[in-house]
Structure 1
Amino acid sequence: MASARIGIYGLGTMGSALALNMAEKGFDVAVSNREAEWIAPFIEEAGGLADRLYPHENLADFVAALERPRVILFMIPSGAPMDAMLREIDPLLAPGDIVIDGGNADFHDTRRRARELSVSRRYYVGLGVSGGEAGARTGPSMMVGGPLEAWQRIAPILTAIAARHDGSPCVAHLGPDGAGHFVKTVHNGIEYADMQIIAEIYGLLRGGAGLSPPEIGTLFETWNAGPLRSFLVEITAEVLAARDPQTGHPVVDVIKDAAGQKGTGRWTVIEALRLGQSASVIEAAVGA
């Protein structure tokens, strides 16, 4: 039986997209998921890439299918689920194996886990992945934190699947243990601030200037053609131009006026306070 170069556990939006990206770049990938019923449909939808995907419903079989020393990328919720996963997989790991956490984890947790795994001579890598589902599938930006030895082993895979800017791969080893997750946290915190600014501009134009959502969307479209060009400005223009097919009203007027968060914005504010730095716009976004 052939051995896979890397294993991906967690076939949600990001995990499945990364698995397809790696397979497309020529890597054999073992895949598994806690909800085993997700695996077969994923393989079926992979089409021609399925030949490079090795599905396993059982965790032990999944680990056994990997080249030694093993490389396993977990794309599961951060926090308690990751700690539980590490306890479950620990008896199956050997010295030299690399565990990669690709979720939005608190970098303090990443540092703790790295210390715990290092006792048994296993490597723990915190990987920040940016770009959403489309980026994961066609080329994400990645921020790596962990031992240099681990980075040297996984670099060929991550470099191959990364986005490119001016021909250079958008992936870098940023330092030990939690460095990658720290940078990803601050990256997300900045996006919180961007979205808060966009929301406040919308509020001023809608409530103060009396413009309609499509009119405001046209302004954002104009701004996106200049120095303010960005993904967030682009999609804001598209959202404000959209209409609900059932009512004919602007979509922004019929969706629930609420948003959730996964913690990275809050963590950014906490670290800013610890370092004596001002992050008032990010704090406003977290509190909104």
Structure 2
Amino acid sequence: MARADIGLIGLGTMGSALALNIAEKGFTVAVWNRTTEKTHAFVEEAGDLAANVIATDTLEDLAAALKGPRAIILMVPAGQPVDDQIEALDPYLGPDDMVIDAGNANFRDTMRRMEVLERPFLGIGVSGGEDGARHGPAIMGGGDPDLWARVAPILTAIAASFEGTPCANLMGENGAGHFVKAVHNGIEYADMQLIAEVYGLMRDGLAMEAPQVGEVFEGWNNGRLSSFLIETSAKVALAHDTATDGPLLDVIVDAAGQKGTGRWTAIEAQHLGTPIPVIEAAVAARNMSAQRGLRADLAATFGGVDRIDIPIDILEAALTCGKILCYAQGFDMLRAAARAFDWSLKPEVIARNWRAGCIIRSAMLDDMAEAFEAAPDTTLMAAPYFSDILSETIGALRQTVIAATSAGLPVPAMAAALAYFDTMRQARGTANMIQGQRDYFGLHGFVRMDTGDKDQHGPWADD
């Protein structure tokens, strides 16, 4: 008998957590996994929630278990596996049955699927990791508003909430949900890298032990930097390793992994022509972290680093400044995408959607939402509240980057943030030289400042 409210395919870490979340909220979920044994093991381990879970052995069984019109969430790896799963599922679905891709899909794949599939399709970004999926993630939808409305009761029920408001919203049309999730992850990369750089300055520049760093982060989490990532960083730095009877952080290999979403953000920023240098620096830093052998060889060749003398409160202000500039770049990219793809993205809605459940949730997001509500088309850097903080903290960021650079301590994301700020506050930049160079060797032309005339050339054009 068809009695399930929604279906879910893919019982990996995220899929299993999401299915339990759905069941816990009182909905009946029918589940299917490529490995039948895993499907039944999942139900057996669901405890009291098993009453709201239906295990199915075939895709036909899954479709038969669902109330119509059906809605099925895919929690499978991004790319070709999604297309393959949709193709395998299609014979068992009717024309009004909906497929929802809730994986880390590239938004361009989502847009393509919406164009070619002859059935309802939604793309939703889910943030918060396993814990978020199980207890309340931030959900970013993309697609037709009527399709979103069909499943919104379930999605808003399982989402995280901030002061009673669900962190689940339709971001915009077609691939907008997955795009917003990608930018979220790009900001996440940058935020994590900025924190890691400050940790490095305390460890290598100030000779602080990991527990001392953890205590600093704990203190910062009670102030303006209050956020999930600062809280997490404090717990990581304070963690004890029983095998060595020392800090766990000291035995973790310094090579960062990535699943590609941050890289996608950097690539799409180039397509959109919008600068996100802090995010790009964070992606590059992860790539450099993987080259441990080369780094060890070069350290032996060129030597180590020097100590620095910089107050902790200066580091706190520098991190605050870098964080604001990072978020400003992310939201500027979202605004550029809205123009390029004709999406109805609302920055204040996105900021509020990130206040709970997701990895980059922080105390600043409420203020960001208010700033965008007051001036939706204004960069965060120019919003009065944040421009005041930048004016207050930019000196600390400059002092930190100078001290780190002088001592040979790497701060690629902080340096990128500072260079971005200095570039963007120059009314007269230096690209006139580049335009002159381009005209000299390629006759690309330039615009005159005094007259506004376009397609002008220098005297070399007559040679």
Q: When the two structures are superposed, what TM-score results if normalisation uses the length of structure 1?
A: 0.96
Q: Tell me the secondary structure at the aligned position of residue 227 of structure 1.
A: coil
Residues 23-77 of structure 1 deviation map (CA, whole Å, 9 limit, x = unaligned): 1221111011112221222111211111111001212211221112210001111
Matched, 1:35 2:35: yes
Residue identity matched to 1:194: D
What residue is the counterpart of 2:258 in the other structure?
261
Residue identity matched to 1:46: A
**Residues 100-249 of structure 1: pairs in structure 2 closer than 5 A:** 100-117=100-117, 120=118, 122-249=119-246
Instruction: Report if the CA contact (8 A) 1:144-1:172 is conserved.
Output: yes
The structural deviation recorded for 1:224 is: 0.7
Q: Which deviates more, 185-194 or 152-161? A: 152-161
Q: Tell me the secondary structure at the aligned position of residue 154 of structure 1.
A: helix
The structural deviation recorded for 1:199 is: 1.0
Instruction: Report if the CA contact (8 A) 1:146-1:177 is conserved.
Output: yes
Q: Tell me the secondary structure at the aligned position of residue 3 of structure 2.
A: coil
Residue identity matched to 2:22: M
CA RMSD of aligned residues (A): 1.2
Residue identity matched to 1:234: E
Residues 81-128 of structure 1 deviation map (CA, whole Å, 9 limit, x = unaligned): 1121122112222211110011111100000011111xx2x1111111
Structure (1 or 2) with the greater strand fraction:
1
What residue is the counterpart of 1:79 in the other structure?
79
Q: State the alpha-carbon separation in 1 of the partners of residues 186 and 156 from structure 2.
A: 25
Residues 153-212 of structure 1 deviation map (CA, whole Å, 9 limit, x = unaligned): 111111211211121111111122101000000011100000110111111111111111
Q: State the alpha-carbon separation in 1 of the partners of residues 57 and 155 from structure 2.
A: 25
Q: Tell me the secondary structure at the aligned position of residue 100 of structure 1.
A: strand
Q: State the alpha-carbon separation in 2 of the partners of residues 190 and 281 from structure 1.
A: 9
The structural deviation recorded for 1:278 is: 1.5
Residue identity matched to 1:108: R
What residue is the counterpart of 1:45 in the other structure?
45
- Structure 2: which 5+ runs fail to align? 286-463
The structural deviation recorded for 1:137 is: 1.7
Residue identity matched to 1:275: L
The structural deviation recorded for 1:133 is: 1.6
Q: Tell me the secondary structure at the aligned position of residue 222 of structure 2.
A: coil
- Structure 1: which 5+ runs fail to align? none
Instruction: Report if the CA contact (8 A) 1:196-1:281 is conserved.
Output: no
Residue identity matched to 2:65: A
Residue identity matched to 1:103: G
Residues 122-158 of structure 1 deviation map (CA, whole Å, 9 limit, x = unaligned): 1111111112222222221110001122111111111
Q: Tell me the secondary structure at the aligned position of residue 125 of structure 1.
A: strand
Instruction: Report if the CA contact (8 A) 2:6-2:72 is conserved.
Output: yes
Q: State the alpha-carbon separation in 2 of the partners of residues 87 and 130 from structure 1.
A: 26
**Residues 56-71 of structure 1: pairs in structure 2 closer than 5 A:** 56-71=56-71
Instruction: Report if the CA contact (8 A) 2:140-2:168 is conserved.
Output: yes
The structural deviation recorded for 1:3 is: 2.1
Residue identity matched to 2:200: G
**Structure 1 consecutive aligned stretches of length 4 or more whose deviation exceeds 6 Å:** none
The share of aligned pairs that are identical, in percent, is 59
Matched, 1:96 2:104: no
Residue identity matched to 1:97: D
Residue identity matched to 2:173: P
Q: Tell me the secondary structure at the aligned position of residue 31 of structure 1.
A: strand
Q: What is the count of residue pairs matched by the alignment?
A: 285
Q: Tell me the secondary structure at the aligned position of residue 262 of structure 2.
A: helix
State which structure, 1 or 2, has the greater radius of gyration over its C-alpha atoms. Answer: 2
Q: Tell me the secondary structure at the aligned position of residue 173 of structure 1.
A: strand
Q: Tell me the secondary structure at the aligned position of residue 4 of structure 1.
A: coil
Q: Which deviates more, 273-282 or 226-235? A: 273-282
Instruction: Report if the CA contact (8 A) 1:123-1:146 is conserved.
Output: no
